[in-house]
Structures are given as structure tokens and as C-alpha cells.
Structure 1
Amino acid sequence: MTQESDKYQYVSSAKLPTKLGQFKIHGFVEQSTQQEHVALSYGNWQVNDIVPIRIHSECLTGDALFSTRCDCGAQLEKALQNIVEQGKGVLLYLRQEGRGIGLLNKIQAYKLQDEGLDTVEANEHLGFDADLRDYSICQLMLEKLNVKNVKLMTNNPKKSAALIQMGINVVERTPIDHGITDDNRHYIRTKTDKLGHQFSENLFKK
């Protein structure tokens, strides 16, 4: 292990060939919980360059199982495509399933949504805040990758605010409007109305 903070450690890096291109994968661990997180980097940059990045919270159902209840899987793929098209960039993949409540609790929240609650109400009904995610590991990840200035792909202004608080220069925020279907339109509307997410288009005409 070559770099650490009080809470996190950098573990190792390796090549990661994908269908989109040749990435590098970098492993990090949260010391108190032993939770593991990864960053994917593509291309090269100088320390003061503006680097496209996305902070993506793990979503097993959307990222790996192709669920259309959310837009996560489509956003993940589009972010990686954007990074490759721009010739450089970083995706920070944080193991914070269900906005931090965990996979099995997320399944319980899904059941409550099936019964009529929205995504925020379901989390709160289970005794959780609407969003429990912590972005503090991003500081170590970006320091390790020599990234100081970013163009952030996100619909969530809280991610921009978190990076700015860490001393990262968010030069631009670009929305990532992908994966919107009739299955998740109400979910996305709830994130917009109750969690402050910002999209580039009027998604609610239907």
C-alpha cells in the first residue's frame, strides 16, 4: 500500500481492458469498515488539466442486472463512453448501494415503492435518511490520480458541493440524462423534486 489518509488507503492499480477501451483500475479501502472502492482512469493528463470525471455509486440492479427501475446502469455506461470520447477521464465507483442503505435494504425499499411509496419515502419508512452517501474518499482517489480540476458528469449538485468542499476545482457540471424510461420516470421526478437533481431536458412531458 502506497498512500493513505486517516480513513482510507490506496491498495493497487492494474490494467483493465473493456469493450469501450483500455482503462486502469485503482483499488482503495475504507479502514474502519474494510469497504472497498475503485477508480477507473483512462488516458493521460498533466496535474493542472481539466479532467472529465463521474462519481458513480454502486447499483447492482442497474449496473450489472440491467434493471430499468433506475437510470444508473445507463449513466455508468454513458459516462465511460464520454471519457473515452474525450480521450481522458476518471470514474470513481463507490460501494454505496441504494444511496447508502445497502443492497438488501434497497430491495425492501423497492417493495415499498411497489406498494405506492416513492424512493425517498421508502428509505425514510425503513428508518434511513433519503441519502446517506459519503463522498470523502473522492479526495484521496483524485489526489492519487493527480486530478485537481474537473468537469463533473452528474445530475446531483451535492456531488459538486462535496468536491468543492474538498478543495477540488469543479470547472463545469454537465448533466447525464440517460436511461430514462417509463419504468423510472416517477423515480427520476422524485429525485428532481425532493433531492434537487438537475437534468438538462424537460423529462416529464409524458
Structure 2
Amino acid sequence: MSYQFITSAKLPTRHGEFDIHIFENEAGQEHVMLTVGLPIDRQSAPTDTPPIPLVRIHSECLTGDAFSSLKCDCGPQLNAAMHAIQKSGCGAILYLRQEGRGIGLTNKIRAYALQDQGHDTLDANLILGLPADARIYDMCKPMLDHVGVDKVRLITNNPNKLAYLVEHGIEVVERVPLLVGVNDENASYLATKRDRMGHLLDNEF
């Protein structure tokens, strides 16, 4: 599926000012990239030592990002990444519109209902006949290409995101772990991501 850049503008936030870029695929689905210091100003950054952008690939989570749900760590991850990228002065957040690990909002809430009955986040999806993780990352390279990025410091605990970028010619010079927003409501959710989905989390949060 192809992706094209649509428009951009300034976006002041409580973390600082970003440039917000909108991309759209041929099905009309919109994805967002927030950037700071990109494209890199080669006049202020020597060409032999350009800064390596700090990048977060973040899939949409309405319940966590907008409603501050305690069932996941998505909202704290997004805010921590925005803060870290502002502090670094060079980076991007790729905000991908694939709610509920790609199964959509309605199915995500159906999965929540099964979790309320004692099933973990992976089994809840499988009981509904859905994949454990339906996310794709094919929009990431066109978004990074748009701001001239081919090397990143990637904020992630998910090895699938790292593998995608490497497979598509983006050099990951560093994986930056991100563990925030841990609470009693999401501890088992995080343990499932670590033990059953391969996320790179400490044995003890």
C-alpha cells in the first residue's frame, strides 16, 4: 500500500512545540508524525557528526492516550516519548492509526470484556478469532524518508518494530527502553507482553 504526505503545521504542546505531518494511504487512512529538529539543518550540524534522531513508533490507543486508562501503559509511553524527544532536540513520533494492536476499537473493548473475565490480553484476542497482534509498520519508512532519516535511536520494548526498520534499510544504532506507567491494573498485561509476546521488559518491573 502506498502512502503520501498531505500537509504539515506547527503543534504547540505541554512538552514543547512539534511539527505535525499528516500522511494518507490509498484507502484514506491518516497517520501522523510529530517531529523536532527534522529535517536536520546541515548548516548547524556538521555533516560528519549529524545528530541521530530519537524515534518512537506509537500505535493509536484511544483508551490510554486520550482517556488515561490504567489497563495499559500507552498514555504514559506517549507522553514520556514526547518529553524525551523534546529534550533531545531531534526526533520523531510516528503515530500509527491502528487501534487495539490493529483489531480496531470495538474489538478491543470486546477483548477488554474477556479480560474482565480473567483472560489475558493475548488469549482475549484469540478467543475472538483475532490475531494476537495485527499491527503493520509499512508506513514507517515513507514517513522517515520524508524528513530524511535513515538512522535512529529507537524508543521501544518491542523487537518487531526494531526488526521492521532494519529490514527496510533504517539503521537502529540504539534501542532505548521505555518502562513507564506501571500500576496494579496493568502489571499482568505487561507480564503477558514480556512472557508471551517477546517484549523486552525486565523480569521485575
TM-score band, normalised by shorter chain = over 0.9
Matched, 1:21 2:16: yes
In structure 2, what is the equivalent of residue 8 of structure 1? Answer: 3
The normalised TM-score by structure 1 is 0.92
Structure 1: unaligned runs, 5 residues or longer: 1-5
- Within the candidate set 145, 148, 154, 1:146 is matched to 148
- SS at 1:27's partner residue? strand
Once residues 30 and 195 of structure 1 are traced to their aligned partners in structure 2, the CA distance between those partners, rounded to angstroms, is: 28
- Contact preservation (8 Å) 1:175, 1:200: no
Identity among equivalent positions (%) equals 52
Matched, 1:119 2:114: no
- Contact preservation (8 Å) 2:59, 2:99: yes
In structure 2, what is the equivalent of residue 96 of structure 1? Answer: 98
- Contact preservation (8 Å) 1:177, 1:200: no
**Deviation for aligned residue 1:7:** 1.4
* CA offset digits 1:79-107 (Å, max 9, x no partner): 00000111111000000100000001000
Once residues 29 and 194 of structure 1 are traced to their aligned partners in structure 2, the CA distance between those partners, rounded to angstroms, is: 33
In structure 2, what is the equivalent of residue 181 of structure 1? Answer: 183
- Within the candidate set 80, 83, 99, 1:81 is matched to 83
State how 1:53-92 maps to structure 2 within 5 Å. Answer: 53-92=55-94
Once residues 178 and 117 of structure 2 are traced to their aligned partners in structure 1, the CA distance between those partners, rounded to angstroms, is: 29
In structure 2, what is the equivalent of residue 191 of structure 1? Answer: 193
- SS at 1:78's partner residue? helix
Residue identity in the other structure for 2:23? F
Once residues 202 and 87 of structure 1 are traced to their aligned partners in structure 2, the CA distance between those partners, rounded to angstroms, is: 31
Counting matched residue pairs gives 197
- Within the candidate set 158, 161, 170, 2:160 is matched to 158
**Deviation for aligned residue 1:201:** 6.5
- Within the candidate set 46, 49, 52, 1:50 is matched to 52
- Contact preservation (8 Å) 1:41, 1:90: yes
Structure 2: unaligned runs, 5 residues or longer: none
Once residues 76 and 89 of structure 2 are traced to their aligned partners in structure 1, the CA distance between those partners, rounded to angstroms, is: 20
